[in-house]
Chain A
Amino acid sequence: MKRRDFIKNIAAGSIFLNLNPGLFAQEKTIPDLAVIQGESPSQITKEAISALGGMNRFISKGDEVLIKPNIGWDRTPEQAACTNPEIVKTLVELCFEAGAKKVKVMDHPCNPAQRTYVRSGIAKAAKEAGADVPFPNEHKLKKVPLHGQHIKEWEVYRDFLETDKIINVPITKHHSLSRLTLGMKNWLGALGGNRNQLHQDLDYAIVDLAAFFMPVLSFLDAYRILYRNGPQGGRLSDVRLYKTVVAGVDYVAVDRMGAHFMDMSQEELTYLKIANKRGLGEVDLEKLKIEKRKI
Chain B
Amino acid sequence: MKKERSKKYRAIQTLRIISQSLFFILFFWLLVQTHFPGKDYIGNVEIFFHFNPLIALTTLIAARAVFASFVFAAFTIILTFVFGRFACGWVCPLGSIHQFFSFIFKKSRLLKPKKIKNKLPTLKYYILICILAGAVFSLNLVGIMDPFSLLYRSFAVAVFPVLNHTFSNIIGLLYQAEFYSVADPIAQFSTTLDINPVFAQAFFIGSLFLAVVLLNVYRERFWCRYLCPLGALLGLFSRWNILKLTIDPKKCIECNLCTIHCETQANPFPNDEWKSSECIYCFTCSAICPTNAIQFPIRPGPEKIEKIDLSRRKLILTSLVSVVAAPFFRLSPKSARASEKLIRPPGALPEKQFLEKCVKCGECMKVCPTNAIQPVLTEAGPEGLWTPMLVPEIGYCEYYCSLCTQVCPTGALRELTVPEKTQVKIGTSWINKNRCIPWKFGDPCIVCEEHCPVSPKAIKLIKIEVKTPEGEIKTPLAPVIDTELCIGCGICENKCPVVDKPAIYVTSVGESRSDKNQLKLDLISGSGGIY
Contacts and interface: CB of A to CB of B under 8 A. Distances in A.
A238 B38 CA distance: 25
Contacts of B495: 110, 196
A111 B398 contact: yes
Contact of B400 (A74, A134, A140, A197): A74
Interface string A238-251: 10000000000000
B141 interface: no
- Looking at B36, B437, B455, B499, the one whose CB has the most chain A CB atoms below 10 A away is B455
A234 interface: yes
A134 B455 contact: no
B447 interface: yes
Contacts of A119: 400
B277 to A, nearest CB: 47
Contacts of A175: 450
B401 A115 contact: yes
Interface string A200-216: 11100000000000000
Interface residues of A, number: 32
Contacts of A231: 450
A111 B454 CA distance: 14
A199 interface: yes
Contacts of A197: 497
Q: Contact residue range for chain B?
A: 35 or more
Contacts of B461: 176
A98 interface: no
Interface in A92-144: 110-115, 118-119, 134-135, 137, 139-140
A174 B97 CA distance: 54
Given A112-B370, A119-B400, A194-B497, A229 B447 contact: no
Contacts of B453: 232, 234
Nearest to A200: B443
Given A74-B399, A137-B191, A139-B171, A114 B497 contact: no
Given A140-B175, A177-B444, A199-B444, A238 B455 contact: yes
Nearest to A233: B455
A235 interface: yes
B477 A177 contact: yes
B187 interface: yes
B369 A112 contact: yes
A176 to B, nearest CB: 6
Q: What 4 A-B pairs have minimum CB-CB distances, sorted nearest first?
A: A234-B455, A135-B191, A196-B497, A139-B175
Given A110-B495, A134-B187, A202-B444, 16 more contacts: A74-B401, A114-B35, A114-B369, A119-B400, A134-B188, A135-B187, A135-B192, A139-B175, A176-B446, A176-B449, A176-B450, A200-B443, A200-B444, A201-B444, A232-B453, A238-B455
